């Protein structure tokens, strides 16, 4: 070992004496040094990825990642290097790291400095001078480095923090790779696929963010699907197969962004995440997390914890707040009761009666055809992690206890009468994946297994953009995404949605600005006797300079109002910001909703810290969410007015 260190110093001394050495010149000698410290050690030099933000060396022991080494040129100050954003990211996400200028070695465990060895110094003439006894100290440093193991993670908070740090590294690596990659490169192709099919205005920065979130939470979702006793076999390459079989699209996309088709620039980071997840006590994490929040759905709730650690501003802008189960249950049960009372649906949400409607058909001479479809079609236009659809399925399953034999099977209730009328839209890829995971698990627990050609009708799409069919030749990934977008467009335009429910995002500075949504808000709804604009009251413009009608939750309410007016009847059940209840700016909105709905039930949950609301006894008024804005539940009912449709 000592002879290997002496040989290393001789080799880099020769390189340095030549006078034209760079940081990369010393790497072959350094690689040989690292691999001399133990058998079956591989130090992989990744020079092509340096500009993308990857560590310079990834060290593997028996093909398993042990740690990472970041190298700087001789003479570079490691004190200054420690202050850089790059090293801060590494210290936050890489649990076992060495920083070196080839002569000084600093070893960090879990981001904390642990050992420091100076092997040699440059003298006044630029010659390398070994220090007495430093070779033995360096051997000890590398022995500790190679023997280190990432501590087993047992708490949700620790796991969320580690995942968030890795997500930031992946995000930054993708941004850098995107900047230096040719326009015909892999990442550019994937970016164009999303831009052409789902998010027309997505920027490379937003793409990198979406990519990083999806990779990290998708890997987490896949790992949750693997029992702890089988976790040793968990890997990045196989993760796509550990995702639920609810949607072949999800598996295909995940294979592109995290599996066998992953862009080489971030393979190291995703492999690091896979290693961390392998070492998690996942059963313990989920158990503790569930106890802490007193919920039955800790996997879904964990996404909020992850996003809060990764990017709190994004969590707020997208309104990602887990809806408490009692609130969800209240809304779902209320809709079920109203269906029984006002719509002649004795089975409530479980109703599987059909109506005859006209649906578009380009092959028919009239451009449409009469078809029998389910009457109670349900849509969550801001699905998030699937909480409302999850509760809906549970309620329907419980209501059919007396007829459990009809539930599963190719001709059973789920295949014939549940999946065909249950829809969800979600814009963010990570919660979209979680929704599929949770709903797939729930149905599996009830005894239903998805057939090869079957899927959940939860789609990756932007609810607040006009439905458009994507056509034309596209890249392989874009074709997968296009099929998803086209299926969502069909739901937006063709399905007679009767129930719209959920927790739409609240964001005064909306991220959804487009002409279609603007027209929806500011013009009369494009249906016979459509409801008036939110921007007018008593037929006159509101005449105010500052309007809060561009908040996302307002747009989702307008979308739901539009879908129910198109169907002719239905129920809207949302929990939203409560500002529209009494703010004068929303008087046009209130009048428009009264035009559409026969009954409007509002449960104001208050909790508005900005108004300093208090409970009746004078104590602090707690919000059901971790936000300052007060919220309210609304149930709005448009009863059947057109009896011309035949019911079967």
Task: Report pLDDT digits (tens) over 408-435.
Answer: 888 899 999 999 999 999 887 778 877 8
- Residue 288 pLDDT exceeds 80: no
pLDDT confidence of residue 366: 67
For residues 441 and 548, state if they share a domain: yes
Comparing C-alpha atoms, which of 382, 446, 385, 437 is closest to residue 418? 446
* Residue 389 and residue 439 in contact, taking contact as beta carbons nearer than 8 Å: yes
Cα distance between residue 499 and residue 502, in whole Å: 10
Q: Is residue 6 part of a domain?
A: yes
Comparing C-alpha atoms, which of 514, 595, 602 is closest to residue 562? 595
Average pLDDT of the chain is 83
Task: Report pLDDT digits (tens) over 356-365.
Answer: 887 766 566 6
Q: Which of 408-417, 436-445, 538-547 has the highest mean pLDDT?
A: 408-417
Q: Is residue 341 part of a domain?
A: no
Q: What is the mean pLDDT of residues 71-96?
A: 89
Compute how many other C-beta atoms are within 10 angstroms of the C-beta atom of residue 220. 27
Q: Is residue 484 part of a domain?
A: no
Please tell me which residue, 79 or 75, carries the higher pLDDT value: 79
The percent of residues in the chain predicted with pLDDT above 90, rounded, is 36
Task: Report pLDDT digits (tens) over 202-218.
Answer: 788 888 888 888 888 77
For residues 374 and 305, state if they share a domain: no
Number of residues that this document lists for the chain: 648
Q: What is the mean pLDDT of residues 58-70?
A: 82
For residues 112 and 171, state if they share a domain: no
Comparing C-alpha atoms, which of 305, 315, 237 is closest to residue 271? 237
| pLDDT class of 1 with cuts at 50, 70, 90 | low
- Residue 647 pLDDT exceeds 60: no
| pLDDT class of 586 with cuts at 50, 70, 90 | very high
Q: Is residue 268 part of a domain?
A: yes
For residues 168 and 309, state if they share a domain: yes
Please tell me which residue, 630 or 62, carries the higher pLDDT value: 630
- Residue 347 pLDDT exceeds 90: yes
Domain of residue 383, CATH code: 3.40.50.150
Q: Is residue 525 part of a domain?
A: yes
Residues 6+ apart with CB under 8 A from 395: 332, 333, 336, 348, 349, 350
Residue 541 forms beta bridges with which residues? 536
For residues 364 and 307, state if they share a domain: no
Q: What is the mean pLDDT of residues 57-73?
A: 85
Cα distance between residue 47 and residue 41, in whole Å: 19
State which residues form the domain around 598. Answer: 353-466+495-638
The percent of residues in the chain predicted with pLDDT above 70, rounded, is 84
For residues 193 and 142, state if they share a domain: no
- Residue 294 pLDDT exceeds 50: no
Q: What is the mean pLDDT of residues 397-415?
A: 88
Q: List phi, psi (to 5°) of 467.
A: -70, 125
DSSP single-letter state for residue 351:
-
For residues 371 and 271, state if they share a domain: no
Range of weakest confidence among 222-231, 399-408, 479-488: 479-488
Range of weakest confidence among 294-303, 440-449, 633-642: 294-303
Range of weakest confidence among 225-229, 473-477, 570-574: 473-477
* Residue 67 and residue 94 in contact, taking contact as beta carbons nearer than 8 Å: yes
For residues 67 and 181, state if they share a domain: no
Domain of residue 20, CATH code: 3.90.1570
Q: What is the mean pLDDT of residues 269-289?
A: 80
Q: Which of 77-81, 90-94, 247-251 has the highest mean pLDDT?
A: 77-81
Range of weakest confidence among 200-204, 472-476, 589-593, 619-623: 472-476
pLDDT confidence of residue 169: 79
| pLDDT class of 280 with cuts at 50, 70, 90 | confident
For residues 293 and 371, state if they share a domain: no
Among the candidates 293, 317, 341, a domain finishes at 317
pLDDT confidence of residue 643: 40
pLDDT confidence of residue 50: 44
- Burial of residue 46 (CB within 10 Å: 0-12, 13-18, 19+) is middle
Q: Is residue 215 part of a domain?
A: yes
Please tell me which residue, 165 or 502, carries the higher pLDDT value: 502
Q: Is residue 632 part of a domain?
A: yes
Among the candidates 126, 147, 168, a domain finishes at 147
| pLDDT class of 464 with cuts at 50, 70, 90 | confident
For residues 562 and 627, state if they share a domain: yes
Q: Which residues of 485-502 are buried (b: 16+ CB within 10 A; e: fewer)?
A: bbbbbebbebbbbbbbbb
pLDDT confidence of residue 411: 87
Among the candidates 266, 289, 317, a domain finishes at 317
For residues 140 and 206, state if they share a domain: no
Domain count, the chain: 3
Residue 639 tokens read as 């009863």
Cα distance between residue 612 and residue 156, in whole Å: 32
E strand intervals along 267-385: 354-360, 368-374, 378-380
Q: Is residue 489 part of a domain?
A: no
Residue 100 forms beta bridges with which residues? 71, 105
For residues 269 and 401, state if they share a domain: no
Range of weakest confidence among 219-223, 240-244, 275-279, 570-574: 240-244
Please report which residue ranges of 455-525 form alpha helices under DSSP H: 476-494, 515-522
Q: What is the mean pLDDT of residues 569-573?
A: 97
Q: What is the mean pLDDT of residues 546-565?
A: 90
DSSP single-letter state for residue 348:
G
Alpha carbon of 310 to those of 164, 218, 377, 412, 426: distances in Å? Answer: 4, 15, 36, 42, 20
pLDDT confidence of residue 20: 82
Residues 6+ apart with CB under 8 A from 52: 173, 174, 176, 177, 180, 265, 266
Q: What is the mean pLDDT of residues 321-343?
A: 90
Q: What is the mean pLDDT of residues 181-192?
A: 77
Q: What is the pTM of this model?
A: 0.77
E strand intervals along 230-319: none
């Amino acid at each position: 070992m000592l002879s290997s260190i002496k040989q290393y110093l001789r080799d880099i001394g020769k390189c340095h004496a030549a006078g034209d050495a760079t940081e990369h010149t010393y790497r072959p000698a350094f690689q040989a040094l690292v691999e001399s410290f133990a058998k079956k050690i591989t130090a992989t030099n990744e020079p092509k990825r340096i500009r993308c933000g990857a560590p310079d060396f990834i060290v593997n022991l028996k093909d398993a990642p042990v740690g990472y080494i970041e190298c700087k040129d001789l003479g570079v100050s490691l004190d200054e290097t420690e202050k850089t954003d790059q090293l801060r990211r590494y210290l936050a996400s890489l649990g076992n790291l060495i920083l070196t200028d080839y002569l000084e070695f600093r070893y960090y465990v879990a981001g904390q400095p642990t050992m420091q060895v100076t092997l040699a110094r440059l003298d006044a003439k630029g010659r390398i001078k070994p220090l007495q006894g430093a070779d033995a100290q360096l051997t000890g440093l590398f022995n500790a480095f190679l023997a280190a193991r990432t501590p087993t993670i047992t708490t949700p908070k620790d796991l969320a923090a580690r995942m968030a740090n890795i997500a930031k590294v992946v995000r930054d690596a993708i941004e850098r790779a995107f900047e230096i990659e040719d326009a015909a490169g892999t990442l550019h192709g994937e970016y164009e696929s999303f831009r052409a099919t789902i998010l027309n205005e997505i920027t490379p920065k937003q793409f990198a963010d979406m990519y990083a979130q999806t990779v990290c939470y998708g890997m987490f979702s896949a790992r949750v699907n693997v029992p702890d006793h089988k976790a040793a076999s968990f890997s990045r390459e196989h993760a796509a197969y550990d995702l639920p079989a609810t949607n072949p699209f999800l598996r295909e996309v995940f294979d592109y962004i995290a599996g066998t088709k992953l862009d080489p620039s971030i393979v190291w980071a995703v492999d690091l995440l896979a290693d961390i997840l392998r070492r998690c006590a996942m059963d313990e994490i989920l158990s503790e997390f569930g106890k802490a929040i007193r919920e039955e759905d800790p996997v879904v709730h964990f996404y909020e914890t992850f996003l809060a650690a990764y990017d709190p501003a994004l969590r707020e802008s997208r309104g990602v707040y887990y809806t408490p189960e009692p609130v969800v249950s209240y809304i779902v049960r209320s809709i079920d009761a109203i269906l029984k009372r006002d719509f002649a649906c004795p089975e409530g949400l479980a109703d599987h009666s059909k109506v005859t409607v006209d649906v578009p058909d380009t092959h028919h001479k009239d451009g449409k055809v009469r078809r029998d479809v389910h009457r109670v079609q349900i849509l969550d236009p801001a699905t998030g992690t699937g909480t409302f659809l999850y509760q809906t399925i549970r309620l329907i399953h419980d209501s059919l206890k007396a007829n459990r034999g009809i539930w599963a099977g190719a001709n059973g209730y789920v295949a014939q009468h549940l999946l065909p009328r249950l829809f969800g839209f979600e814009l963010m890829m990570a919660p979209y994946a979680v929704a599929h995971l949770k709903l797939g698990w729930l149905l599996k627990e009830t005894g239903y297994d998805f057939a090869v050609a079957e899927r959940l009708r939860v789609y990756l799409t932007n609810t607040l953009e006009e439905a458009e069919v994507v056509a034309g030749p596209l890249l392989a990934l874009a074709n997968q995404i296009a099929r998803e977008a086209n299926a969502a467009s069909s739901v937006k335009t063709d399905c007679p949605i009767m129930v719209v429910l959920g927790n739409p995002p609240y964001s005064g500075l909306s991220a959804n600005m487009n002409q279609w949504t603007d027209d929806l808000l500011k013009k009369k709804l494009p249906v016979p006797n459509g409801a008036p604009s939110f921007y007018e009251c008593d037929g006159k413009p509101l005449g105010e300079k500052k309007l809060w009608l561009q908040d996302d939750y307002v747009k989702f309410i307008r979308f739901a109002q539009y879908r129910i007016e198109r169907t002719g009847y239905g129920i809207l059940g949302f929990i939203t910001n409560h500002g529209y209840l009494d703010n004068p700016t929303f008087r046009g909105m209130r009048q428009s909703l009264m035009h559409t709905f026969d009954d409007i039930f509002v449960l104001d949950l208050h909790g508005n810290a900005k108004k300093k609301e208090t409970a009746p006894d004078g104590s602090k008024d707690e919000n059901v969410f971790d936000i300052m804005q007060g919220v309210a539940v609304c149930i709005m009912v448009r009863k059947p007015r057109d009896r011309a449709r035949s019911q079967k």
